[in-house]
Each structure stands twice: as C-alpha cells, then as structure tokens.
C-alpha cells in the first residue's frame, strides 16, 4: 500500500508539476527517477519491518540494482503499449482519409479553357498528367488499358482547379496521383516515381 501511494503521488503529482516535454531523454530520465524512488521506498520498508538490520549503503545500492532489474520489464511493456496506442490514434484518421479519398465513386472534374475541354474521371482511375505545349495530357485507366485525353490548359491552372490532396505537381511538366505510386527511387538530385500501371517513370523536381 505504501509503494502504491508513492507511485500515485509520483505519477499524478510530481510528474504534473515538472511538465517536461515528451522526448526520449525525458522518458528515460523519468523512468530512472521512478526506479530510484521505488527502490528507496522498498529499501526503507524492508529495513523498518526488519528492525533496520540491513540499513547500510551497500545494501541500498543492491536494492536499487535488483528493484530496477525487476521494474524495468513492466515499465518497458507499459511504454510500448501507450506508444502503440499513440501511433494508432495518429494512423487511424490517415487510413480513414485514404479510404474515403480512394472511394471508387469519387469523381474528379478536369476542366480546360475551351467549352468542350472537360472530362470527369474517378480518382481511382486517374494516373498522371503531362504538360504538352498549351495542353495537358491526362492518362487514366479504362477497361484494363491506359487511355489518354488532351485538355487545353496549363498544368498549374489545372491542378489549382482540382484542389485535391492526392493529386500533386511533382515536376514542372507532370502531376501525379499519389495513390498510384509504388516506389520512389533515385538520389536527392534525381528522384523518379514508379507507377504500377505504366512502364515509364515520372521525374521529380528538386522543389
């Protein structure tokens, strides 16, 4: 009961007073302090119940080593449990957003400058776009083949009109659907994007 009371005071009173930023060094430091505190409490309780028969420095240091060796395993287990919960909390919304974004029924409208320059594609079918003079060639999947549609517009204007987080400009001449990228290869000076549906690779500008 004494150890429980001190543990609660340590965790919910002392820790809140300190309010340290959560970093690896602070987590390790706090854990070492907790081991030291609990080892000290156990050492005093042990000697109190035993009429102070083992109350000397060597025994105290042995208590610290032995208690730390026992406490470190549940402490690591608790740390990884809460770390897993934290990552799960951050990842779940991302996966949910991705599933929503990749809904086959979600349609993206590409509109050019001409009255007839318009095509509506599902996000799941659009692959990438390539600037060609005053046009943008849109590549998409249809009936298990790659189709091409020319639309009269600049690449920057087209991307601004789409305004979807999955479709970004990766180069001055290219835009790509992020969900179709299977690999990013190359060094910092020359990155290439690989899409599973096409053999050609797409360049990535430094910016």
pLDDT in tens, 8-38: 898 888 888 877 677 778 888 888 999 999 9
Question: Which of residues 103 and 174 earns the better pLDDT score?
Answer: 174
pLDDT in tens, 114-145: 777 899 999 889 999 999 989 999 999 998 89
Question: Please, are residues 71 and 79 in contact by the beta-carbon 8 Å criterion?
Answer: no
What is the residue extent of each domain of the chain?
2-101, 107-204
Q: Which residue has the tokens 């779940």?
A: 92
For the record, the structure tokens of 76 come out as 């690591």
Mean pLDDT within 144-160: 93
Lowest mean pLDDT among 42-51, 79-88, 146-155, 168-177: 79-88
Superfamily of domain 107-204: LytTr DNA-binding domain (2.40.50.1020)
CA-to-CA separations, 182 to 11, 32, 35, 139, 185, in angstroms, rounded: 45, 44, 46, 17, 10
Q: Which pLDDT score is estimated for 96?
A: 67
Task: Give the pLDDT band (50/70/90) at residue 75.
Answer: confident
Q: Which pLDDT score is estimated for 28?
A: 85
């Amino acid at each position: 009961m004494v150890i429980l009371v001190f543990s609660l005071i340590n965790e919910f009173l002392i820790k809140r007073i300190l309010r340290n930023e959560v970093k690896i060094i602070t987590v390790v430091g706090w854990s070492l302090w907790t081991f030291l505190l609990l080892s000290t409490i156990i050492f005093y309780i042990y000697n109190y119940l035993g009429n102070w028969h083992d109350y000397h420095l060597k025994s105290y240091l042995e208590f610290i080593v032995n208690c730390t060796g026992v406490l470190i395993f549940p402490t690591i287990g608790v740390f990884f449990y809460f770390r897993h919960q934290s990552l799960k909390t951050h990842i779940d919304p991302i996966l949910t957003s991705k599933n929503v974004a990749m809904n086959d029924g979600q349609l993206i409208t590409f509109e050019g400058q001409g009255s007839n320059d318009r095509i509506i594609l599902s996000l799941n079918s659009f692959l990438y776009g390539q600037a060609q003079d005053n046009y943008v060639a849109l590549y998409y999947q249809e009936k298990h083949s790659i189709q091409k549609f020319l639309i009269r517009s600049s690449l920057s204007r087209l991307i601004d009109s789409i305004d979807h987080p999955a479709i970004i400009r990766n180069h001055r001449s290219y835009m790509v659907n992020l969900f179709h990228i299977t690999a990013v290869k190359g060094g910092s000076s020359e990155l290439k994007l690989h899409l599973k549906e096409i053999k050609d690779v797409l360049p990535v500008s430094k910016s």
